[in-house]
Amino acid sequence: METKLKIAEAAIALFTSQGFKGTTVRQIAKKAGVNIALISYHFGGKKGLLEELITSFFEGYIRRIEIIYHTSSSPTVKGSFIEVVEALLIYQQRNLPLARFVYREMTLDSTLVRELMSTYLVKEKYFLQTLFEKGIKKKEFRRQPVDFLTIQFKDMMMLPFLHPLYLAEVYQINAETETFIQPYKKWMMNWFDKCVCISERKNPLLSAVQKPLFGSIQEKWGS
């Protein structure tokens, strides 16, 4: 198991810096410090390694949404989204090199990518859209196009992990630090308050079960 993990970590590093096509099996074996034959033994070759890396990432990602979708005890839909946001931010941060590689790979049009979309991303869309529709039906959320709402939510959840270098170089924000998660989570909830939720004056339920949420992310980072 240790050998398999070494190979996976070496592959992630090389795929991220050189791309999948630009990385050879020999380079992966050298970086992992293992015999080249072990890559075929554990993964069936470079393509099998790619498939297992991406699949394992999405298995963990979707599982976190699914658990909250079915078991959240929050009295509000927004409360369920708070749980989703925190779970996904933590998961992506803990797997940041892999997340960055996976998101880049998913922009390419290939048979594998299409299969992954139909297997995992369609399921993600179902869970998120159903939650947004539930919020609208319960009059917690404003009535607006759910497709676009879901796309915007997903984009904000992905961006720090798809473009960590952009955030670090342009905004001096490090998505890998322990201090990143809570400010970004709070900013996401601020977005919910301003752009998704019906105001508390029109929905007493929200003011009864939730405390007002914070200021801007800039204030939290002191910029």
| Residues 189-220: tens digit of each pLDDT | 999 999 999 986 555 555 444 444 334 334 43
Alpha-carbon gap, residue 143 to 118, rounded angstroms: 27
Q: What is the mean pLDDT of residues 98-117?
A: 93
What is the structure's pLDDT at 201? 57
Q: Is the pLDDT of residue 12 over 50?
A: yes
Nearest to residue 142, comparing CAs of 211, 65, 203, 64? 203
The alpha carbon dihedral of 170, 171, 172, 178 has a sign of: negative
Phi, psi angle pair for 195, to nearest 5°: -115, -20
Report the b/e string of 151-182 with b at 16+ CB within 10 A: eebeeebbebbbbbeebeeeeebebeeeebbe
How many Cα atoms within 13 Å fall on the side-chain side of residue 94? 9
- Is residue 101's pLDDT more than 60? yes
Q: What percent of the chain has pLDDT over 90?
A: 85
Spatial separation of the C-alpha atoms in residues 130 and 133, rounded to whole Å: 5
pLDDT band at 34 (very low <50, low <70, confident <90, very high): very high
Question: How many whole angstroms separate alpha carbon 55 and alpha carbon 60?
Answer: 9
Mean pLDDT of 160-185: 93
- 62, 93, 86, 85: which is closest to 162 by C-alpha? 93
Global pTM reads: 0.85
The pLDDT of 87-96, averaged and rounded, is: 96
Neighbours of 101 (CB within 10 A): 25
